[in-house]
Structure 1
Amino acid sequence: MMEQSMQASGHLYIQTNEVKNFVIHYARAADGSISEVERVSTGGAGSGVYKPISGQESAPNAFEAAGSVILTADKRFLFATNGGDNSVSSFGVGENGKLTLIDVKRTGNLVTGRSGTAKSLAYLPSTGTLYVLHSFGPDHVRLMSVDADGKLKTRPEGYTVNVPGKPLRVSTMVVLSPDERFLVVGTTFDEPAKANPDGSPILWATQPDGSAKSVASNAPDPDGIIVFHVQPDGSLGEGMFQDGGGGSPFYPAFLHHRPNQFVIGYAVADGVALASLGEDGKIGTGPVVKIDTSAGLPSELCWLAVSPDDQWVFATNFGYSNISSFRIDGDVISLVHNAACPKVPGDGTFRALNGTVSSGPSDNWISPDGRHLYQIYANASKLVGYAVQPDGSLSEVTSAQIPYNSPQGLAGF
């Protein structure tokens, strides 16, 4: 392992999210293949196979989340959430990408049931502020300070994505705008999805008059994306609740070369849209470009990877066990491949919201040269690496066995 890591052209990290949580460090070779270098304890607890937002005893994508493992831009530190006990771990990134645990601190949100829900991270280096998003509120966003040595300090601030009449909203991802002026939060449900007797979640809630209403956010109320002004000390201004453009605006991903534009992945609207962020924090969204949903609704298209040249968007379909590819040409985004790669089957025990048997793919990550894409298939206990082809299709080049159902988060360099 040491010899392979010495020859690595890059590194990749994933958290196991096991009850005793670890970060797995892989060395990446030039051909995209990966080999495990080490497993380093986070010092915190994950949720294990339990899925706290739906109460399922064993299911992939425990927190309906993205970005639970991140690296600082200077590659000095790696941060990982511990969703089970609502804590965050900081690591020093050393020679050959090896990790050293520096600190573990609770976010300030209490764990009131079997698991907490700390799950998504964003880091503001100018103020040393770490933003920690939780699936459940009322304080969905909590802040931490990071000192020059990577030590963490919990701050008292807390910010909600709840609105009147919706006290149980489920948020998904937190991301900073490239100019670091705004913090953008995606959402998926206006209230947690309850479970059927077979363990599958229910996407509809019964109203007092007996009618059914979707629990998906932004469907139809236009308040699914929340934008906060970032203050000089890293604290946040009042949230602006805005139209996300479609049902369940799960994943906002900023373009690399157009800092005022981002792509939104929709878990219930079954597609992606190109959006803009104005100087005043107001957003505008283009039309949702949908995938073929003949396999069932919703597709749960959630996670996005934008290629370094901003030409390709790869979208993970949780319900369909595959990845779709889209192309960006100016202000137009178009579907190229409904299935850019073959389905990866799971063990047959997990069904998505649409009832299809799924392997539960979640977080993905694209290499800085745009040549390789890595995808978690938690119900299949596999991390798969693909070579990105010129036509936007994906060819498998590597895979690694990972823990069953629990893993979350991918980051690398």
Structure 2
Amino acid sequence: MKVQSSLFALAGLTALLSACGTTTAPTETDPYAGHVYAQSNAASNTVVSYGRSADGKLTKLGEVSTGGNGSDGKLVVVKPGKAAVDPLFSNDSVLLTPDHQRLFVTNAGSGSVSAFSLDASGAPKLVGTYPSGAANPTSLSVSGELLYVSHGDASAQNVQITGFRIGADGSLTAIPAASYAPSKASVITQVKFSPDAKFLQTSELMNDIIALYPVAANGTLGAPVQNASVAAGKGVFGTAWLDSTHLLVSEAMSGSVSSYAVDASGKLTPISAAVPNNQKATCWLKITPDKKFVYASNTSSGNVSVYRIGADASLTLVNAVAASLPAGGAVDFMDNPSSGTVDLVISADGKYLYQQYSGLGVVAAYSIGSDGNLTPIAGGDATGLPIGTEGLAGY
């Protein structure tokens, strides 16, 4: 009887883990340990899907239209229309839900968001493409049935952040009156729910403001708590929640990363202030599942830095250049040649990191060492994406 009870308990635990999307073992319907999805950002936008093998290698599986338009590799803000390796100036333009059942993609060239369902093999199927509510949608965040979108520019009605409800079929419906703007004009580079869904955080690049909006029960937002970036850290860009009370922030203009404590009101207190890596345009952040390391993509330098995260959420630089690829013919928004490190993904098991090089049209595969350093996986890269691709999600 005890053995039978143990078996039932084990079966229940296995089912629970599977439902939470934490297992990555291949199945009969899906021979891959995980999947990675890239946005081409082409004029006729597409999502390119890859299978992740147990050894970390990527295999292209397919490409599907979003039903919308990308920016065709051109900047949508700062210097609109200029070809550059960082065309969207944002994090999370492609977003995968935690259960790996839904995928959402911004179409910066047509002011829309595309919703996809993912079948048992990880293949995306377009549910629909929906107006995003403002110009140049570039960043997404999901919490439960809520989806929020931030835009590179405010609309004529001064709208720059919009909220949607996700239907049972994955469709999107705009939440009435869920339209917001920063305190003054700025480029919003990221929108991100806190893990407990208490706040929606935005990064205001030009204002050097980290804003936390309280989320109401009906999905609308309250007045934001506006936190100025620490004096040494300029150009707040990417963020990553360590947990609901700790936030990591990249500073593009300083080439640094900071960590903050978040109190119940949404006020931030610095823990590690602007820890430098001496690289250019530190923008994208990703934390390992065990929360020991955070990786930062330095777009203009075309490389990746790694920091160790302390038990108190303090940061220590491990390696300023843990990975890099040489520049091709593409340039950043300041006309500096760059391979264009933009979005990155860490596998659910914490073994592999995938770095999108927008200036090369490559998603490079690396194994993660116990010390946080990265080793290229021979034959593991995905190639053939257009120059100016931006947006990556996966597990």
SS of the residue 1:386 aligns to? strand
Change (3 A) 1:290 1:41: same
Change (3 A) 1:4 1:62: farther
Counterpart-to-counterpart distance in 1, 2:29 and 2:296: 30
Give 4+ residue runs of structure 1 displaced > 4 Å after superposition.
Answer: none
| Structure 1 residue 351, shift from structure 2 partner | 4.2
Q: 1:130 maps to which residue?
A: 147
Contact 1:124 1:234 survives alignment (8 Å): no
| Structure 1 residue 356, shift from structure 2 partner | 4.0
| Structure 1 residue 352, shift from structure 2 partner | 5.4
1:174 to 191, 194, 199: 191
Counterpart-to-counterpart distance in 2, 1:336 and 1:314: 10
Q: 1:357 maps to which residue?
A: 337
Q: 1:390 maps to which residue?
A: 370
Q: 1:49 maps to which residue?
A: 73
Q: 1:70 maps to which residue?
A: 95
Give the partner amino acid of 1:118.
Answer: P
Contact 1:270 1:291 survives alignment (8 Å): yes
Contact 2:256 2:278 survives alignment (8 Å): no
Q: Report Cα offsets for 1:117-166 as digits up to 9, x if no partner.
A: 101111121xx221011011131111122111111122342111132xxx
Matches within 5 A, 1:144-163: 144-156=164-176, 157-163=178-184
Q: 1:240 maps to which residue?
A: 225
Counterpart-to-counterpart distance in 1, 2:327 and 2:298: 14
1:314 to 281, 291, 295: 295
Give the partner amino acid of 1:23.
Answer: V
Q: Report Cα offsets for 1:332-376 as digits up to 9, x if no partner.
A: 2100101112x31232341454x6421111001111111101111
Change (3 A) 1:57 1:120: same
The range that moved more, 243-252 or 77-86, is 243-252
Counterpart-to-counterpart distance in 2, 1:57 and 1:333: 35
Change (3 A) 1:86 1:292: same
Counterpart-to-counterpart distance in 2, 1:188 and 1:300: 12
Contact 2:84 2:333 survives alignment (8 Å): no
Q: 2:257 maps to which residue?
A: 272
Counterpart-to-counterpart distance in 2, 1:152 and 1:339: 40
Contact 1:352 1:358 survives alignment (8 Å): no
Counterpart-to-counterpart distance in 2, 1:46 and 1:15: 9
Q: 1:251 maps to which residue?
A: 238
Matches within 5 A, 1:157-236: 157-163=178-184, 168-189=185-206, 217-218=207-208, 224-236=209-221
Contact 2:32 2:51 survives alignment (8 Å): yes
Give the partner amino acid of 1:408.
Answer: E
Q: Could you tell me the TM-score, scaled by structure 1's length?
A: 0.83
SS of the residue 2:211 aligns to? strand
Give the partner amino acid of 1:272.
Answer: V
2:127 to 91, 102, 107: 102
| Structure 1 residue 65, shift from structure 2 partner | 0.4
Question: Gaps spanning 5+ residues in structure 1: where?
Answer: 110-115, 190-216, 219-223, 294-298
Contact 1:78 1:93 survives alignment (8 Å): yes
Q: 1:93 maps to which residue?
A: 118
Question: Gaps spanning 5+ residues in structure 2: where?
Answer: 1-26
Contact 1:292 1:338 survives alignment (8 Å): yes
Give the partner amino acid of 1:139.
Answer: V
Give the partner amino acid of 2:385.
Answer: P
The range that moved more, 302-311 or 241-250, is 241-250
Alignment size in residue pairs: 358
Counterpart-to-counterpart distance in 1, 2:174 and 2:201: 21
Q: Is 2:77 aligned against 1:60? A: no
Q: Report Cα offsets for 1:153-197 as digits up to 9, x if no partner.
A: 22342111132xxxx3101001101110100001222xxxxxxxx
SS of the residue 2:359 aligns to? helix
| Structure 1 residue 103, shift from structure 2 partner | 1.0
Contact 1:117 1:135 survives alignment (8 Å): yes
Give the partner amino acid of 1:348.
Answer: G
Counterpart-to-counterpart distance in 1, 2:260 and 2:350: 22
The percentage of aligned residue pairs carrying the same residue is 31
| Structure 1 residue 73, shift from structure 2 partner | 1.9
Contact 2:85 2:330 survives alignment (8 Å): no
Counterpart-to-counterpart distance in 2, 1:316 and 1:279: 30
SS of the residue 2:382 aligns to? strand
Contact 1:79 1:91 survives alignment (8 Å): yes
| Structure 1 residue 386, shift from structure 2 partner | 0.6
| Structure 1 residue 409, shift from structure 2 partner | 1.4
Q: 1:400 maps to which residue?
A: 382
Q: Report Cα offsets for 1:48-68 as digits up to 9, x if no partner.
A: 121121124311221200101
SS of the residue 1:119 aligns to? strand
Contact 1:381 1:401 survives alignment (8 Å): yes
